[in-house]
């Protein structure tokens, strides 16, 4: 596994950081890829490898301006992968970061929070 993967943003994909050494996964920007599998398959593979040898603490920071329906399915899949780590006494922190007046994104974070068994911190900023 690569220790760190960085993907610069495009007009349809977010900045992505997958950092094994710090147990950090970040998505920041717009997530509306035309072909979701091209974007997400390598991420899912990296996460699967990470989960086989996770650190004691893993942090996911999700700061999206917008994401499409297909991306939402992949995000849910990613969140569910980390549920298994909670059963192995690992600390999982998911931060759903959005602007305080972006009610759609706040609601999306709350929806994920209601679906998965990992707490999601809704972090609002100006």
Length of the chain, in residues? 126
Angle at 69 between CA 64 and CA 71, to 5 degrees: 55
Task: Round to whole Å and give the CA distance between 36 and 74.
Answer: 8
> Is pTM beyond 0.85 here?
yes
CB atoms within 10 A of CB 95: 15
CATH of residue 90's domain is 3.30.750
Sign of CA dihedral 98, 13, 120, 107: positive
* Residue span of the structural domain in which 20 resides: 4-125
With tokens 């509306």, the residue in question is 32
pLDDT by residue for the chain (126 residues), tens only, comes to 568 999 999 999 999 999 999 999 999 999 999 999 999 999 999 999 999 999 999 999 999 999 999 999 999 999 999 988 887 889 999 999 999 999 999 999 999 999 999 999 999 998
pLDDT of residue 87: 77
Task: Round to whole Å and give the CA distance between 64 and 15.
Answer: 10
- Indicate the number of domains in the chain: 1
Check residue 109 and report its DSSP letter.
H
Residue 44, CA atoms < 13 Å, CB-side half-sphere: 15
Residues near 74 by Cβ (< 8 Å), separated by ≥ 6? 36, 39, 40, 43, 44
């Amino acid at each position: 596994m690569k220790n760190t993967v960085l993907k610069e943003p495009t007009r349809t994909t977010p900045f992505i950081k997958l950092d094994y050494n710090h147990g950090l996964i970040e998505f920041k920007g717009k997530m509306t890829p035309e072909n979701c599998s091209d974007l997400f398959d390598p991420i899912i593979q990296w996460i699967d490898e990470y989960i086989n040898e996770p650190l004691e603490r893993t942090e996911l920071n999700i700061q999206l301006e917008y994401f499409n329906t297909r991306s939402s399915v992949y995000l849910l899949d990613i969140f569910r992968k980390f549920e298994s780590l909670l059963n192995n006494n690992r600390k999982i922190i998911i931060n759903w970061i959005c602007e305080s007046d972006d009610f759609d994104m706040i609601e999306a974070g709350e929806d994920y929070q209601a679906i998965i068994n990992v707490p999601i911190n809704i972090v609002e900023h100006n």
